[in-house]
Amino acid sequence: MRRGLLLIAIGAVILSFGTLFFLQGNSVVGPTSSFMYSNPKWINYGESIIAMGLAIMAIGFGISLRCPGS
């Protein structure tokens, strides 16, 4: 598997987890018994995780565009 595509896939997984955490912190999804549900800390954590996922995906896209054969 090419390195760029691998980073894009990893970034997408991290992005989806960050989105889930953000939505749970905002009381949109998840069981009400969860420690993340309606917790403002998890809104911030989710935003940070989303940013990391996007950064990893951007690096993967950059590698894919720069080195198409890798």
Within 8 A by CB and 6+ apart from 68, the residues are none
Q: Which residues of the chain are under the pLDDT cut of 50?
A: none
pLDDT of residue 22: 96
- Please give the residue range of the domain that contains residue 55: 3-66
For the whole model, what pTM was predicted?
A: 0.88
Cα 38 from Cα 53, distance rounded (Å): 23
- How many domains does the chain contain in total? 1
